[in-house]
Structure 1
Amino acid sequence: MELDNFDRQLLNLVQEDADQTSERLAEQIHLSPSAIQRRLKRLRKEGVIARECAVLEPKKIGRPTFFIVSLQVERERPELLAELRRWLSREPHIQQAFYVTGEADFVLVVTVPDTDAYDELMSRLVRENSNLKRFTTSVALGVVKRGLTIPVPLED
């Protein structure tokens, strides 16, 4: 799908705040509100905008603990990796999972209420995924930046 500069501007703006009205977006991009609505509909239909979500303030919901986890698998057979990917995708406490190069095979961002909940999650992960070789954990002491924004460059 070809993106023009209006699409690119729109994508940058809705990533920052998807709750903006078409009128507010139109003021910033210099298009009509109806043109903004058509473009958003097309971007959603084409899968450029995969979904929209609310970003919660951790302190307001009980201050969950964040863990960064590196996983190593025993064997990289496609069917075993697919099984692990499905498991990771279904687990609601795993915020993000990346298949990576380097010493680890996967890097996870996990958020749970406390270390007991983390221990239970990781025990289940190991028990239900026999291909897991080892994992290492880093506890996030604080959040410096959190988001999913992907900067969309504007055309020159």
Structure 2
Amino acid sequence: MELDRFDRQLLNLVQEDAGRTSEQLAEQVALSPSAIQRRLRRLREQGVIARDIAVVDPGKVGRTTIFIVSLQVERERPELLAQLRSWLAAQAHIQQVFYVTGEADFVLVISAPDTETYEALMSRIVGEHPNVKRFTTNVAMSVVKRGLTIPVPPDSGGQET
């Protein structure tokens, strides 16, 4: 899908706040509110916008501990990796999963209310997936930045810095 400058502007704006109305967006993009609605619908239908979410303050809902976990597997057999990926994706406490290069095979971002909850989750991973060789855990002391925004360059050839 080819994105024009209006699409790119809209993508940057809705990533900042998906709750903006088409009228509010039209004030920043030189299009009518109805044109904004059509473009956003098309971007959703074509999968460019994967979903609209609310960003919740974890401290206000009791999930104040963030664990960054490096996970190693014994063997990288496709069927074993597929089972593990599916299991990881289904766990509510696991916010993000990255399949990575380097010493670890996966990096996980886990939000849990306490270390007991985290420990129980990791015991389940190891118990249900014998292919997991080892894991290391880092506990986030504070959050400097949190986000999922993907910078969209203003034109198709530009690079965002």
With structure 2 as the length reference, what TM-score do the two structures score? 0.95
Bigger mean CA offset, 59-68 vs 104-113: 59-68
Please tell me whether the aligned partners of residues 63 and 113 of structure 2 are also in contact (alpha carbons under 8 angstroms).
Answer: yes
Query: Structure 2 unaligned runs (5+)?
Result: none
1:30 is aligned to: 30
Distance in 1, Cα, partners of 2:18 & 2:137:
33
Q: Take 2:51 and 2:4, find their aligned partners in 1: how far apart are those partners?
A: 21
Distance 2:86 2:59 in 1: 30
Q: Report SS of the residue matched to 2:76.
A: coil
- Match status 1:80 vs 2:91: no
The 1-side partners of 2:63 and 2:112 are apart by 9
Give the equivalent residue in structure 2 for 1:59: 59
1:68-98 deviations in Å (ceiling 9; x for gaps): 0000000001001001000101011000000
Corresponding residue SS for 1:52: coil
Q: CA deviation at 1:61?
A: 1.3
- Residue matched to 2:39: 39
Q: Which structure 1 residue ranges, 5 or more long, are not aligned?
A: none
Identity percentage of aligned residues: 73
Distance 2:58 2:144 in 1: 13
For the residues of structure 2 that align with 1:75 and 1:90, how far apart are their CA atoms? Answer: 22
Aligned-partner Cα distance in 2 for 1:59–1:91: 20
**Preserved contact between residue 63 and residue 112 of structure 2 (Cα < 8 Å):** no
Q: Could you say which residue in structure 2 is the equivalent of 1:91?
A: 91
1:102-121 alignment to 2 at 5 Å?
A: 102-121=102-121
Partner of 1:71: 71
In the TM superposition, structure 1's runs of 4+ consecutive aligned residues that sit over 3 Å from their partners are none
| Whole-angstrom CA distance in 1 between matches of 2:63 and 2:116 | 15
| Distance (Å, rounded) in 2 between the aligned partners of 1:133 and 1:63 | 28
Q: Is the CA contact (8 Å cut-off) linking 2:95 and 2:111 kept in structure 1?
A: yes
Aligned to 1:67, what secondary structure does the other structure show? strand
Amino acid at match of 1:120: A
**Superposition CA RMSD, Å:** 0.8
**1:63 Cα deviation (Å)?**
4.4
Answer yes or no: is 1:130 the counterpart of 2:130.
Answer: yes
Query: What is the count of residue pairs matched by the alignment?
Result: 156
Separation in 1 of the partners of 2:54 and 2:31?
A: 26
d(CA) in 1 for partners of 2:11 and 2:138? 33
1:64: how far off?
A: 2.0
Report deviation, 1:60: 1.4
Equivalent in the alignment of 2:50? 50
